[in-house]
Amino acid sequence: MIHLQCDPENQTDSIKLEHDGKTAEELIQIIDDAGIVGMGGAVFPTATKLRSSINKKIDTLLINGCECEPYLTCDDKVMCEQSTQIIGGIRHLLTITGAPLAIIGIEDNKPEAMQTLIDAASEDDNIQVKALPTHYPMGSAKQFIQALCKVEVPKGKRSTDVGVVVQNVATCAAIYNAVRYGRPQTHRVVTISGGALEHPMNIEAPIGTLISELVAYCGGLKESASRIVIGGPMMGHTITNMHTPIIKGTSGVLFLQESELPQYNTSPCVSCGRCVSACPMGLLPNAMAELIEHDDLEAAVKQGLNSCLLCGSCAFICPASLPLTQYFSYANAQLLRQKKMQQKAQLARRLNQQRTLRLEKEALQKAAEKEAKKAARGAARRTRQPTISIKEES
């Protein structure tokens, strides 16, 4: 881990940059130097994502303003309060990608954010704001693209392969601050919520702030939390230590009461098919879970395990309360473990082969040196003159 030391002088001055007339690569380099990553949850380096789109024909730039998980409202707050920065970041992204059109997709349960961005983009004919139905998981990139562009990203392909680049609204605001003012990505808006919290709120906090400090800022806990979740209740993960820092991808921290947790009374699968109809990727969660239960991971991969988003829709709707998401998480972890073991085995074989070749080469070299010394001694004996002694007669 890295220990961060606070600046005692609290220096917050930024450098105003000359961004007019900069090329796409120069703008990407600024984004790279600012350490900006996707703030929708993937935390993929934005500069790398943009560089991969330079040599491809991008038709549409999509800006993701969907926030479909319960409790989380950080993106909604960013859209309401930082609309100018978001539109400014979109303009820079249009310059970088060369896309003729940008579309901001916002779920229809955020009317204030939608109107704010419509007003902010009123002077830009190539920036549109569209409403999307509040349907989980609309925030997923593939579902987002399909809803706005009516295009399906093929399996194993990226969005740039179909002429689309997707960025989060908070990422756009960070890009504007980096290009316009030279500010690195050192802060983000985090939702601190849950029934166990005294005063839920959204906080713009420095990266690395301890969760315990954010809780104290919110007035503390009114009761002991039954579960602490980083992220949303559907795709987030549980932690047990509040002395954990937030990172660039921390969209929220939830302190849930017992009444807010799902009550699982697991029973055998009844083959109702609800999980199949709920899966946004069109998979067969019940069939994959059965294969994983029998440790047949290869068959589960053939059923589409690698396409699973781990969104939790199947587990949420399952009447038998089967832990389907846990099955798929376990399978992915096992596959990753097997892949790492195979990589280690391949590395060991390669190192062993290199060692064998090195020893053989050294043996041949020693044999050659030995033969050379032997030949040199033979040549020296042949060239040596014989010593003749003549005795004088007395």
pLDDT tens, 124-145? Answer: 999 999 999 988 888 888 889 9
Least confident of 182-196, 201-215, 264-278: 264-278
Give 308's pLDDT tier (boundaries 50, 70, 90).
Answer: very high
Tell me the pairing of strands 60-64 and 127-132: unpaired
Contacts 24+ apart (CB under 8 A), 304-311: 305/331, 305/332, 305/335, 307/155, 307/281, 307/283, 308/281, 308/283, 308/332, 309/137, 309/140, 309/280, 309/281, 310/235, 311/136, 311/137, 311/140, 311/234, 311/235, 311/280
Band (20; pLDDT cuts 50, 70, 90): low
The C-alpha atoms of residue 221 and residue 369 are separated, in whole angstroms, by 79
Tokens of 342: 């195979």
pLDDT of residue 261: 86
| pLDDT-derived band at 215, boundaries 50, 70, 90 | very high
Q: Taking 70 as the threshold, does the pLDDT of residue 1 lie above it?
A: no
**pLDDT higher than 50, residue 58:** yes
Tell me the DSSP string of 176-203.
HHHHHH---S-EEEEEEE-TTBSS-EEE
CA 228/CA 240 separation, integer angstroms: 7
For residue 387, what pLDDT is reported?
56
The pLDDT score that the predictor gives to residue 138 is 86
Model confidence at 391, in pLDDT bands (50, 70, 90)? low
Cα–Cα nearest to 188, from 82, 106, 91, 94: 82
pLDDT of 394:
45
pLDDT band at 382 (very low <50, low <70, confident <90, very high): confident
Per-residue tokens: 343: 């990589």
Q: Which two tokens stand for residue 259?
A: 């009444």
In this structure, what DSSP letter does residue 237 have? E
Mean pLDDT rounded to a whole number for the chain: 89
Domains of the chain, by residue range, sit at 24-185, 188-260, 265-372
Pairing label, strands 101-107, 127-132: parallel
**167, 64 in Cβ contact below 8 A?**
yes
Instruction: Answer whether 188-260 and 265-372 agree in fold.
Output: no
Confidence of residue 380 (pLDDT cuts 50, 70, 90): confident
Confidence of residue 42 (pLDDT cuts 50, 70, 90): confident
Residue 362 has pLDDT above 80, yes or no: yes
Pick the CATH number of 188-260 from 3.40.50.2020, 3.40.50.300, 3.10.20.600, 3.90.1150.10: 3.10.20.600
**In the chain, what percentage of residues exceed pLDDT 70?**
94
**Residue type at 106?**
I
What is the tens place of the pLDDT at every residue in 80-103? 999 999 999 999 999 999 999 999
Q: For domain 24-185, is the CATH number 3.40.190.10? A: no
**pLDDT for the residue numbered 135:** 85
What's the angle, vertex CA 377, arms to CA 376 and CA 379, rounded to 5? 65
Q: Average pLDDT, stretch 156-170?
A: 91
| Architecture per CATH, 265-372 | Orthogonal Bundle (1.10)
For residue 295, give the nearest of 261, 335, 255 by alpha carbon.
Answer: 335
In 3D space, the residue among 85, 83, 87 whose CA is nearest the CA of residue 61 turns out to be 87
pLDDT at res. 95: 93
- Rounded mean pLDDT, 200-228: 94
pLDDT band at 375 (very low <50, low <70, confident <90, very high): confident
The arithmetic mean of pLDDT across residues 236-250, rounded, is: 91
Q: What local confidence, expressed as pLDDT, does residue 297 receive?
A: 93
Residue 225 has pLDDT above 70, yes or no: yes
